[in-house]
Structure 1
Amino acid sequence: MRLIYPACFYPSEDGYTVVFPDLPGCVTEGDTLPEAMDMAIDAASGWLLSEVEENKQLPKATNIKNVIPNEYENGFVSLIGVDLDEYSQKHGNKAVKKTLTIPAWLNTIAEENNVNFSQVLQSALKDQLGI
């Protein structure tokens, strides 16, 4: 799902602050304009994914023509594109089903001991990956 939201960019001595009028509390910063753009994409993606994972309805994007940045901060408006499917694959908490094979004897002992296979696999993967 590709989404586009307007973002207000405010330059400062330290770089840029980015605010999304349609995404309450979604604010980020960058030392340079390209970094601020990258950070804006990441912040909006995370905000939107969180809403989707909580089964909340995503806000409608305001028409860029109707977004007016704070005139006292020399801001400007730009559209930020988000590929929520791609972001979700990398960062989402949605469970993914995996099929695996283990010896029957190991399965029997694990089941007798009420082992949670998903939890064990997640722990082992995190350990293996140093996470």
Structure 2
Amino acid sequence: MKKIDRYYYPAIFAYEPGEEIAVVFPDLNVATNGVDDKDALLSARELLGCVLNGLEEDNEPIPPASKLSDIKASDNERVVLIDVYMPSIRQASINKSVSRTITLPAWLNSAALERNINFSQVLQEALKNMIS
């Protein structure tokens, strides 16, 4: 069975004065929260990816997503469509190394070799900083 690359699920963002934003996925019966809209969105996307990846790994059925128009929200709630790109989530759970060829100026290569710099480690740290 071919796995789906991108899922879309509605989430309910609930706003209460002085509290974090609560986020509930009614179709999946899971919840998270965030200190502001951006944090709540990132937490929701991360949770969605983890839940769906877990269901896939356990060969459990993926529940169908409700239509946005079918979700009823209170005055302090907003319905938000959350998407998750599953190839990234699936790859994150695999800690296998892959080989990449890079091109550097000769002077930079020489200077790094002279200082015994681990190219792989430097590239990994730089990439982690750039994506976080």
Instruction: Report the counterpart of residue 91 of structure 1 in structure 2.
Output: 93
Instruction: Report the counterpart of residue 49 of structure 2 in structure 1.
Output: 45
For residues 11 and 92 of structure 1, do their structure 2 counterparts lie closer, same or farther at Cα, with a shift above 3 Å needed? farther
Question: What is the aligned residue count?
Answer: 92
Q: After superposition, what is the alpha-carbon deviation per residue over 1:43-70, rounded to whole angstroms, capped at 9, x for unaligned? A: 011010000000011011100000112x
Report percent identity of matched pairs. Answer: 29
Quick one: distance in 1 between partners of 2:9 and 2:58? 20
* Superposition RMSD in Å: 1.8
SS of the aligned residue for 1:7 comes to strand
Partner AA of 2:43 in structure 1: M
SS of the aligned residue for 1:59 comes to coil
Instruction: Report the counterpart of residue 30 of structure 1 in structure 2.
Output: 34
Are the equivalent residues in 2 in contact too, given 1:48–1:58 (CA < 8 A)? yes
Are the equivalent residues in 2 in contact too, given 1:9–1:77 (CA < 8 A)? yes
Q: For 1:34-113, what aligned pairs fall within 5 Å after superposition?
A: 34-69=38-73, 71=74, 74-91=76-93
Q: After superposition, what is the alpha-carbon deviation per residue over 1:59-106, rounded to whole angstroms, capped at 9, x for unaligned? A: 11100000112x2x611101000111111101359xx6x9xxxxxxxx
Query: Alignment partner for residue 21 of structure 2, among 16, 25, 31?
Result: 16
Quick one: distance in 1 between partners of 2:14 and 2:35? 12
Which structure 1 segments of 5+ residues have no match? 99-131
The alignment's TM-score, normalised by the length of structure 2, stands at 0.65
For residues 6 and 92 of structure 1, do their structure 2 counterparts lie closer, same or farther at Cα, with a shift above 3 Å needed? farther
Are the equivalent residues in 2 in contact too, given 1:6–1:63 (CA < 8 A)? yes
Quick one: distance in 2 between partners of 1:82 and 1:42? 8
Q: Which runs of 4+ in 1 moved over 2 A?
A: none
Quick one: distance in 1 between partners of 2:49 and 2:94? 10
Which structure 2 segments of 5+ residues have no match? 99-132
Instruction: Report the counterpart of residue 117 of structure 1 in structure 2.
Output: none
